[in-house]
Amino acid sequence: MILSNQTVANLPAHVAKFSYDRAQLSQGIVHFGVGNFHRTHMAVYVDRCLARGECSWAIMGVGLQPGGETKAEAYRAQDGLYTVTEYAADGAVSTRVIGAMTGYLNAMAEPEAVLAAIAARGTRILSFTITEGGYNLNEETGAFDLGAVTDLNGPPRSVFRFVVEGLQRRRKAGLGGLTLMSCDNLRSNGTGTRKAFLTFARAFDPETAVWMEANCAFPNSMVDRIAPKVGAVEAARANEASGIHDLIPAIAEDFLQWVIEDDFAAGRPEFEKVGVQLRPDVHAFEAIKGRMLNGAHVIMSYPALLMGHRLVDGAMADHRIRALLTGFLNRIAIPLISPPNDVSLADYRAMILSRFSNPAVGDQILRLAHDGVSKLPTFLSATTRETLEKGADPAILAYHLACFRQYFTGRDDSGACFEVQEPMLADSDLPKLAGDPLVFLSLAPLAALRLQDNTVFVAAYLDAVRSVQTQGAGKAIEALFKGLS
């Protein structure tokens, strides 16, 4: 069965679908970056709101990547519909068709349509999943790197130009401001969104920048769901489970969480009615999730990859990786966190280990490992800095960095090759990837920590580098445990 508006009424009996009339929907949200996470997270919540009769909040999706016409054609062929197949830890599988996205634009091919969507009277929220590095914010200073954006003049190409020019049109038309809502795993993502877009606006059109400050909102949020990359194998598995020929299926675990500040410039869906937590203490939830879950993902990815693992649940079945994560959470992450009174860190730790061990999800180690240059500053820099300031044992962090350095060789302990993807790596950093291990510590995501100045860390790091290089990550982790016991 091919998925479309014409066939959705005849879905297999076990597939759930929306109950609303899509013909009655109107666009209230323009979302940039329609990847797997957005489709299984924010779009699912919006789908629930539409089912409650909140018909003015449909999503217009916008793809920003060059050469995105294939994806655009797939969405158009299916009228914006797609399936989300959830895999529970107990083996249960469920599929739902999501109808929240009623249009999709390929920004590179349809720039005028994107600008018109932002400037449309009914649009009230602009949302983003453009990755941690997509905001061009310096980890050390927090400043926006305006020099990295090349479309201040000429046609729009970046998300910053599209958004600011679209808001410029709204201002000139006398329309109201919008909410700019980040759904990325970025610490203080609303604050970072505000910094990035206002800095660009001041350079592009200062009058629009002043208008944005007065009329737009930038709520901070914490988002959480494991949504693996969907390749041919994953797509075939999902389609077999659903019985639907979906060109663009999405898959996810059955866990879903979103905590967001109730700070919206032009109204919002009643998110609190569909499971979203509207809270003023988002930063506390960010700290828990960033330091524990995201930090654990990064900590495990490079050792697991070097030890030959390619799936997260397979790595979790390895007692050495599980011990590494438990040690990181208990010794490094948890001592640095002050949780809200209604949150148990012990329960959160147990939930992380359970979610990572889910054998049905099939989450990929490479998904976690890729773009480490962006992820390490976001999820481990503050933890590393505070650990060293406390004088705590840095052995686990040092071992992880030794594995991160070894990752750039593109080979695991057995010699098998894997793909290294680091799109944010600067050309000036390439010479630091091999040779003197201490020079590696001046790599962009690490330089601000000045790790080479900490003699205790340097000793642990050099020992870990020697061990990983000569014995492999697996043997090195066993040596690490002996030192920690």
pLDDT tens digits, 183-221 = 999 889 999 999 999 999 999 999 999 999 999 999 999
Give the range among 141-145, 254-258, 384-388 with minimum mean pLDDT. Answer: 141-145
**pLDDT reported for residue 125:** 98
Average pLDDT for the chain: 95
Q: CATH homologous superfamily for 8-279?
A: NAD(P)-binding Rossmann-like Domain (3.40.50.720)
Structural domain boundaries of the chain? Answer: 8-279, 283-484
**pLDDT reported for residue 306:** 98
CA distances from 11 to 185, 232, 420 (A): 34, 22, 40
Domain 283-484 matching CATH 3.40.640.10: the answer reads: no
Model confidence pLDDT, tens digit, residues 34-76: 999 999 999 999 999 999 999 999 999 999 988 889 999 999 9
Percent of the chain with pLDDT over 70: 100
Name the band, by pLDDT with cuts 50, 70 and 90, for residue 108: very high
**pLDDT reported for residue 138:** 84
**pLDDT at position 132 over 90:** no
Model confidence pLDDT, tens digit, residues 310-358: 999 999 999 999 999 999 999 999 999 999 989 999 999 999 999 999 9
Task: Enter the pTM of the model.
Answer: 0.89
**pLDDT at position 107 over 70:** yes
Model confidence pLDDT, tens digit, residues 445-479: 899 999 999 999 999 999 999 999 999 999 999 99
Name the band, by pLDDT with cuts 50, 70 and 90, for residue 485: low
Model confidence pLDDT, tens digit, residues 376-433: 988 999 999 999 999 999 999 999 999 999 999 999 999 999 999 999 898 889 999 9
Q: 407 CB contacts (<8 Å, ≥6 apart)?
A: 302, 305, 306, 369, 372, 420
**pLDDT reported for residue 139:** 72
Is pLDDT larger for residue 272 or for residue 444? 272
**pLDDT at position 142 over 90:** no
